[in-house]
């Protein structure tokens, strides 16, 4: 016998040999063996103060035809013997039918009893209507009394199925052998309430290569006439590695693997996979079913469905479960709940069995045990169901008595006897449904169902009501699809389920604050302050940007204010602004309008317009068209560069349009460098008014006038015929035109 605790695993350094009873050698029947841990053949004493998690029994010197069955294994501290009080254990079943006290009586009783009287250390007398079996064993002064009755009825079709399964209970990593992959890729079991075996096998590494190839230690012979079904449940929890699940085929000697190409090799790769490099979403359980049957002529074939099962390679003689995690060399983890290989051919045949068992046990250790159970087993189509009920009791000098009653069934219910008055026989006031079922197309989920229940105090983690009538409901949190009520009083706040502050949903707080993504109001809104799209409304008015009232913000800021005192736009501290006061005054850079008087500090220009009062200019008013009402306008142009054109304009200016009553006064100056020939002309609208010879140098000046014609006039200096060397030149020059109606 080997044992495992937190300090060590299965090892030949912690082993003991159990003396073999003669009945065990001869196969005479059930044998109960007790062994003291103090008799370790090899090992320490850590079993005295540590928790033993696993024990393993090894049968030696067994022949090829040997069959060993183990009913139960128990490990624990021996209880203290009884002293002054008698201890007993009994199981009794009785059935009685009686017409009345004066007529027939038919009775059947089965009684099993073990009793240990106080202080004698001897076996007490046992008497019952039926004593099925009593056995007394005295080993080293220890007296044991046992009574057992077993009735069993079984009907079966077919033979037992060959099964491989890895349910991965805690400590189950010992069932796996690491075939390939770095030692950094660990494989350990971890508790998981959702797992079939109560734990999962976790494979991988959080920081480095987590790839690991594992093979289950158990094997079965491959029968090519049987249909096998592989079932597995797994999930990835971290990383991006792939998952392989399947069957490792071995040759007849179990010394080499046989891959799908029918090649015998020491490497476990290219095996008969049911899942090939799967990468499901992290944290999502995956369930796999895959079928195998037959032996190929060479390499493996088939799609793995029940209709087209995968065919094993020809040289495969034995089968073992295998898994590969975090392929190829990826960092991460995956969990395996279970992986099984079932013989579907045998599983699909039916098995039905009923067994009733009653037993009692009493020992000088002060231990009493009594048990009565009924078990029923049904299996078909690969599904096995075991159910029944049992009542058991135990006691010892230190733990005290304890009785348990349990039922394993799809449903358990209590109802009034048939024929009860008032029609109550058709009512099941209490029913437990352990599996869901469909009745008239309606799915009835698993749960406890009561026709009517009266409870003084209820504590429930989760409850569902069709209709709930309550005087008062107190709850920390209530989640409803629809809530209808006459009045709703909220103590703190009420939110939408998708509420994220400043992002989505809505919220109403009991302090009066609320947040919505959009509101449509059909009536009137009353508010002392608020902000809409960056516009703040308060008692001072409407403010945007850096404004908080009728005052310019600090330099560098801008915005808008509209209030009872006026309108502010821009920022005077930045030099760009408009101010419209409630009194009607307007202020802007270069413009002041006060009490109807406007003052401009810049230029005034326009395409057209009219002026009915007096227009006063400090210096010159220049415009393209100050039409018929013009008083005095002066325009001019100058140039200082030296030019020597043969024929061409050297300076020009446009005078504004004026009617016939206006006089255009023209004066010009030009510095001439003398040449051989050419003339300097003064032209109006392209017509020469005067000209001077360029053969004489010096300053040329002249003035003349002409009247308006309602059109703009163009005055220019023009050089003509300057084509003989040495040519003439003109440098400093100017033209001035004054348009006047005075």
Predicted local distance difference test score (pLDDT) of residue 104: 37
- CA atoms of 740 and 620, how far apart (whole Å): 13
Predicted local distance difference test score (pLDDT) of residue 690: 87
Mean pLDDT of 558-573: 93
Predicted local distance difference test score (pLDDT) of residue 317: 96
> Is the model's pLDDT at 622 over the cut of 60?
no
Q: Reading across the β-sheet that carries 586-588, which strands appear in turn?
A: 530-532, 535-538, 541-545, 559-563, 566-571, 576-581, 586-588, 591-594, 597-600
The average confidence (pLDDT) of the chain is 79
The per-residue pLDDT for range 484-513, each reduced to its tens digit, is 777 777 778 888 889 999 899 999 988 888
Mean pLDDT of 92-110: 43
Cβ-based neighbour number of residue 39 at 10 Å: 10
The per-residue pLDDT for range 256-288, each reduced to its tens digit, is 999 999 999 999 999 999 999 999 999 999 999
Q: Which one is predicted more confidently, 331 or 602? A: 331
For the ranges 68-82, 123-137, 202-216, 616-630, the one whose mean pLDDT is highest: 202-216
- CA atoms of 446 and 425, how far apart (whole Å): 23
Among 163-177, 580-594, 596-610, the least confident range: 596-610
> Is the model's pLDDT at 94 over the cut of 70?
no
The per-residue pLDDT for range 295-347, each reduced to its tens digit, is 999 888 889 999 999 999 999 999 999 999 999 999 999 999 999 998 886 65
Predicted local distance difference test score (pLDDT) of residue 422: 61
Give the confidence band of 158 by pLDDT, cuts at 50, 70, 90: very low
H helices of 284-434, where? 344-347
Tokens coding 680: 């300097």
The per-residue pLDDT for range 724-737, each reduced to its tens digit, is 888 888 888 999 98
Among 41-50, 54-63, 541-550, the least confident range: 41-50
> Is the model's pLDDT at 627 over the cut of 80?
no
For 119, phi then psi, to 5°, come to 75, 0
- Indicate the burial class of 571 (C-beta count within 10 angstroms; 0-12, 13-18, 19 or more): buried
- Residue pair 657/643 in contact (Cβ under 8 Å)? The answer is no
Among 68-77, 428-437, 725-734, the least confident range: 68-77
Report the candidate in 220, 202, 87, 207 with the shortest Cα–Cα distance to residue 144. Answer: 87
- CA atoms of 330 and 321, how far apart (whole Å): 22
Among 118-122, 354-358, 654-658, the least confident range: 118-122
> Is the model's pLDDT at 154 over the cut of 90?
no
- Residue pair 654/713 in contact (Cβ under 8 Å)? The answer is yes
Q: Which one is predicted more confidently, 450 or 578? A: 578
- Residue pair 228/344 in contact (Cβ under 8 Å)? The answer is yes
Predicted local distance difference test score (pLDDT) of residue 564: 92
Predicted local distance difference test score (pLDDT) of residue 331: 96
Give the confidence band of 84 by pLDDT, cuts at 50, 70, 90: very low
For the ranges 128-137, 242-251, 604-613, the one whose mean pLDDT is highest: 242-251
Rounded to two decimals, the pTM is 0.34
Mean pLDDT of 397-413: 75
Q: Which one is predicted more confidently, 179 or 143? A: 179
> Is the model's pLDDT at 239 over the cut of 90?
yes
Give the confidence band of 187 by pLDDT, cuts at 50, 70, 90: very high
Predicted local distance difference test score (pLDDT) of residue 579: 94
Estimate the share of the chain in helix, then strand, then coil, as percent rounded to the nearest 5.
5, 45, 50
Mean pLDDT of 72-86: 52
Predicted local distance difference test score (pLDDT) of residue 350: 56
Report strand pairing: 227-239 vs 286-295: antiparallel
């Amino acid at each position: 016998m080997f044992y495992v605790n937190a300090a060590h695993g299965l090892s030949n350094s912690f082993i003991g040999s159990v003396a073999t009873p003669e009945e065990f050698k001869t196969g005479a029947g059930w044998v109960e063996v007790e062994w003291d841990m103090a008799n370790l053949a090899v090992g320490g004493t850590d079993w005295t103060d540590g928790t033993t998690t696993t024990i393993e029994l090894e049968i030696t010197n067994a022949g090829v035809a040997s069959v060993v069955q183990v009913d139960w294994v128990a490990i624990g501290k021996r209880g203290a013997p009884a002293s002054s009080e008698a201890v007993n254990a009994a199981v009794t079943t009785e059935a009685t039918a009686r017409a009345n006290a004066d007529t027939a009586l038919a009775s059947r009783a089965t009684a099993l009893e073990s009793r240990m009287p106080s202080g004698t250390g001897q076996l007490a007398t046992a008497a019952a209507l039926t004593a099925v079996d009593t056995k007394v064993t005295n080993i080293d002064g220890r007296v044991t009394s046992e009574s057992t009755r077993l009735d069993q009825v079984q009907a079966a079709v077919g033979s037992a199925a060959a099964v491989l399964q890895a349910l991965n209970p805690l400590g189950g990593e010992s069932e796996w052998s690491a075939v390939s992959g770095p030692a950094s890729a660990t494989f350990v079991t971890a508790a998981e309430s959702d797992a079939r075996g109560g734990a999962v096998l976790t494979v991988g590494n959080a920081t480095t290569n987590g790839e690991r190839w594992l093979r289950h230690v158990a094997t079965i012979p491959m029968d090519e006439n049987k249909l096998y079904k592989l079932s597995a449940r797994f999930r990835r929890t971290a990383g991006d590695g792939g998952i392989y699940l399947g069957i490792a085929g071995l040759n007849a000697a179990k010394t080499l693997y046989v891959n799908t190409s029918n090649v015998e090799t020491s490497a476990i790769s290219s095996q008969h996979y049911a899942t090939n490099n799967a990468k499901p979403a992290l944290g999502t359980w995956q369930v796999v079913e895959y079928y195998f049957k037959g032996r190929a002529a060479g390499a493996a074939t088939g799609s793995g469905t029940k209709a087209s099962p995968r065919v094993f390679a020809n040289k495969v003689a034995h089968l073992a479960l295998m898994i590969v995690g975090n392929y190829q060399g990826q960092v991460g983890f995956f969990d395996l709940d279970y992986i099984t290989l079932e013989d579907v051919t045998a599983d699909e045949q039916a098995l039905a069995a009923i067994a009733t068992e009653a037993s009692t046990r009493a020992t000088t250790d002060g231990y009493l045990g009594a048990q009565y159970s009924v078990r029923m087993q049904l299996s078909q189509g690969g599904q096995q169901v075991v159910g029944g009920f049992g009542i058991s009791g135990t006691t010892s000098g230190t733990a005290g008595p304890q009785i348990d009653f349990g039922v394993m069934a799809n449903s358990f219910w209590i109802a009034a006897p048939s024929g009860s008055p008032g029609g109550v026989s058709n009512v099941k006031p209490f029913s437990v449904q352990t599996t869901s079922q469909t009745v008239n197309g309606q799915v009835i989920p698993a749960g406890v169902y009561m026709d009517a229940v009266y409870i003084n105090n209820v504590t429930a983690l989760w409850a569902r009501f069709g209709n709930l009538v309550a005087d008062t409901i107190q709850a920390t949190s209530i989640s409803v699809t629809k809530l209808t009520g006459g009045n709703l009083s909220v103590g703190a706040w009420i939110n939408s389920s998708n509420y994220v502050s400043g992002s989505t949903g809505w919220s109403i707080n009991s302090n009066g604050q609320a947040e919505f993504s959009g509101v449509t109001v059909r009536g009137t809104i009353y508010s002392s302050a608020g902000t809409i799209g960056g516009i703040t409304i308060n008692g001072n008015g409407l403010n945007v940007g850096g404004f908080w009232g009728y005052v310019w913000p600090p330099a560098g800021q801008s915005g808008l204010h509209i209030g009872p005192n006026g309108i502010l736009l821009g920022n005077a501290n930045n030099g760009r602004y408009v101010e419209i006061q409630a009194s009607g005054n307007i202020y802007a850079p270069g413009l002041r309008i006060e009490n109807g008087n406007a003052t401009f500090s810049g230029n005034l220009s326009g395409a057209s317009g009219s002026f009915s009062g007096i227009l006063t200019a400090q210096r010159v008013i220049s415009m393209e068209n100050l039409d018929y009402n013009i008083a005095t306008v002066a325009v001019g142009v100058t140039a200082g560069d030296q030019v020597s054109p043969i024929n061409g304009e050297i300076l020009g200016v446009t005078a504004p349009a004026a009617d016939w009553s206006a006089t255009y006064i023209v004066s010009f100056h030009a510095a001439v460098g003398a040449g051989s020939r050419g003339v300097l002309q003064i032209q109006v609208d392209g017509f020469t008014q005067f000209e001077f010879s360029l053969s004489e140098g010096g300053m040329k000046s002249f003035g003349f006038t002409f009247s308006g014609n309602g059109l703009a006039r163009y005055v220019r200096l023009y050089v003509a015929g300057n084509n003989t060397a040495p040519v003439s030149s003109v440098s400093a020059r100017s033209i001035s035109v004054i348009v006047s109606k005075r």
